[in-house]
Amino acid sequence: MSDVLQIRIEMKELESNLVQLEADLEPLQIKFNQLLNREIREEIQLAGVLSPASLNEEKLEILDSIKRHNPMLAMYDSEMSAYEQQPKWQNSTDGPCSVQE
């Protein structure tokens, strides 16, 4: 019986959340249309599938250069390689440093 009541309460909460989200949607749509200099009530059309942007050769070279020369990325790469080089037993409780009872 308590499970049924709990489910009903959850359903009411979810219905309430849905009503709130629908109420929040209209002002956001109006703001979006204003940013695009369109009529505020104009319907927003969304594509079913978004395709990734394609970059030309020059932009790909710049992106490659950024990846190679970025100090933060180099730091993360070195941290990852150090982590990968740690012995597997260091992360388990069966290693030589574990306490045996």
Report pLDDT digits (tens) over 11-61.
999 999 999 999 999 999 999 999 999 999 899 888 888 788 787 888 889
Helix (H, G, I), strand (E, B) or coil at 40: coil
Contact indicator for 73, 67 with CB cutoff of 8 Å = yes
Structure tokens at 69: 């020369």
Contact indicator for 74, 64 with CB cutoff of 8 Å = no
pTM of model > 0.85: no
Mean pLDDT of the chain: 85
Q: Report which of residues 80 and 99 the model is more confident about.
A: 80
Query: CA of 47: how far to CAs of 34, 40, 44, 51, in Å?
Result: 20, 20, 10, 10
